[in-house]
């Protein structure tokens, strides 16, 4: 897609066993990183992926080595703030800063596909958790 807008690209696809050691050595000019998990709390991307790397658990997956003291200070406050509204404002401010500085080019949102019988309907949550009270079964259907 980048080539279609005039950006010269050279994709180097490789097995995961080779790819991540290359990233960890910071031996790349651009990289693709998939990120997700069961928790939808923004701290789980703010701290490991966007915070400045410091060998203390912050920025461990910040392979681009982006660094911004203002952003880091916001994330550090998010980690300890217990007031929900104050925390939400800090998160929004951090995410706005990340957006304004264009730190990432989102490609897609991974969705794990589910399959069920025709008589079963389940809500597919963003965190991929199955909640029994969100599953409906029509027992009379084949």
Mean pLDDT of 13-23: 93
Distances (CA, A) of 93 to 51, 65, 75, 78: 14, 20, 10, 10
Q: 35 versus 6: which is more confidently predicted?
A: 6
pLDDT one-digit tens code per residue, 115-128: 788 899 888 887 77
- What is the CATH class of 3-100? alpha beta
What string of H, E and C letters represents the secondary structure of the chain? CCHHHCCCCCCCCCCHHHHHHHHHCCCCCCCCCCCCCCCCCCHHHHHHHHCCCCCCCCCCCCCCCCCCHHHHHHHHHHHHCCCHHHHHHHHHHHHHHHHHCCCCCCCCCCCCCCCCCCCEEECCCCCCCCCHHHEEECCCCC
pLDDT of residue 39: 74
CA gap 58, 79 in Å, rounded: 11
Tokens linked to 2: 């980048």
pLDDT of residue 126: 72
Q: 38 versus 95: which is more confidently predicted?
A: 95
Please name which of 9, 31, 10 lies closest in space to residue 22, comparing C-alpha atoms: 31
Residues of the chain with CATH 3.10.105.10: 3-100
């Amino acid at each position: 897609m980048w080539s279609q807008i005039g950006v010269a690209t050279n994709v180097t696809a490789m097995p995961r066993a080779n790819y991540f050691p290359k990233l960890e050595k910071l031996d790349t000019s651009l990289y693709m990183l998939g990120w997700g998990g069961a928790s939808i709390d923004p701290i789980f991307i703010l701290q490991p992926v966007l915070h400045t790397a410091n060998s203390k658990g912050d920025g461990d997956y910040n392979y681009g080595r982006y660094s911004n003291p203002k952003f880091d200070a916001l994330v550090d406050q998010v980690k300890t703030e217990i007031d929900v509204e104050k925390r939400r404002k800090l998160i929004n401010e951090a995410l706005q800063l990340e957006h304004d500085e264009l730190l990432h080019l989102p490609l897609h949102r991974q969705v794990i596909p589910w399959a069920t019988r025709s008589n079963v309907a389940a809500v597919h949550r963003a965190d991929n958790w199955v909640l029994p009270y969100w599953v409906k079964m029509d027992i009379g259907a084949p």
